[in-house]
């Protein structure tokens, strides 16, 4: 898969995420995603936050540095984020979701085939390619969007 293919898939997914987020009422925003144990608005903010993480992780790989993450670290970060994001204004989350999606798309699209093939260690997932790391930007929000839609019965 080329960087352009990855970016196109990412753009299509994020258009769906943003459309659902834009269509949320204040009551929707505070609806709990049962299997995520976080409200819908917090989940959208989490998706926005991960955009920057994916870019940073790819940059780490391209600089020859592994991404050192554990499942415990992720769980702790998610809990801390949920506490902070719970009080965040909806408009700020939407702004960051849109702006971060644009930056992430541009970044993914700029990667060369050679860069996509670079390998490095990524936490518990072992040796992976930059292409695999970039695709986290697709895999990650896909599962969260499913949870959000289930919570909102959409």
pLDDT at 92 over 90: yes
Q: How confident is the model at residue 18 (pLDDT cuts 50, 70, 90)?
A: very high
Average pLDDT over residues 25-30: 96
Q: Residue 34 in contact with residue 4, Cβ under 8 Å?
A: no
Q: What is the pLDDT of residue 154?
A: 83
> What whole-number distance in Å separates Cα of residue 143 and Cα of residue 96?
20
Q: Residue 95 in contact with residue 89, Cβ under 8 Å?
A: no
Question: Three-class SS of residue 119?
Answer: strand
Q: Which residues span the domain enclosing 121? A: 3-152
CATH number at residue 25: 1.20.120.450
**Number of structural domains the chain divides into:** 1
Distance of CA 14 to the CA centre of its chain: 9
Q: What is the DSSP letter of 125?
A: G
Structure tokens at 8: 């196109």
Neighbours of 2 (CB within 10 A): 13
| Alpha-carbon distances of 84 from 44, 45, 78, 151, rounded to whole Å | 13, 10, 10, 21
DSSP H helix total and E strand total for the chain: 7, 4
Residue-wise pLDDT for 74-87, tens only, equals 999 999 999 999 99
For residue 66, report the phi and psi dihedrals to the nearest 5 degrees: -75, 160
> What whole-number distance in Å separates Cα of residue 7 and Cα of residue 26?
31
Give pTM, 2 decimals.
0.93
Q: What is the pLDDT of residue 101?
A: 96
Residue-wise pLDDT for 28-81, tens only, equals 999 999 889 999 999 999 999 999 999 999 999 999 999 998 999 999 999 999
Q: What length does the chain have?
A: 154
> What whole-number distance in Å separates Cα of residue 93 and Cα of residue 79?
17
């Amino acid at each position: 898969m080329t960087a352009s293919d990855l970016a196109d898939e990412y753009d299509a997914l994020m258009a769906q995420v943003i459309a659902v987020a834009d269509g949320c009422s204040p009551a929707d925003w505070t609806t709990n995603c049962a299997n995520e144990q976080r409200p819908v608005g917090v989940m959208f903010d989490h998706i926005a936050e991960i955009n920057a993480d994916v870019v940073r992780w790819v940059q780490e790989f391209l600089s020859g540095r592994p991404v050192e993450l554990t499942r415990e670290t992720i769980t702790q970060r998610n809990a801390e984020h949920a506490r902070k994001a719970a009080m965040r204004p909806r408009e700020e989350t939407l702004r960051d979701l849109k702006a971060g999606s644009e930056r992430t798309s541009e970044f993914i699209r700029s990667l060369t085939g050679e860069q996509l093939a670079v390998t490095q260690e990524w936490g518990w997932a072992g040796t992976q390619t930059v292409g695999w790391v970039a695709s986290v930007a697709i895999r990650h929000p896909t599962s969260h969007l499913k949870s959000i839609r289930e919570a909102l019965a959409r």
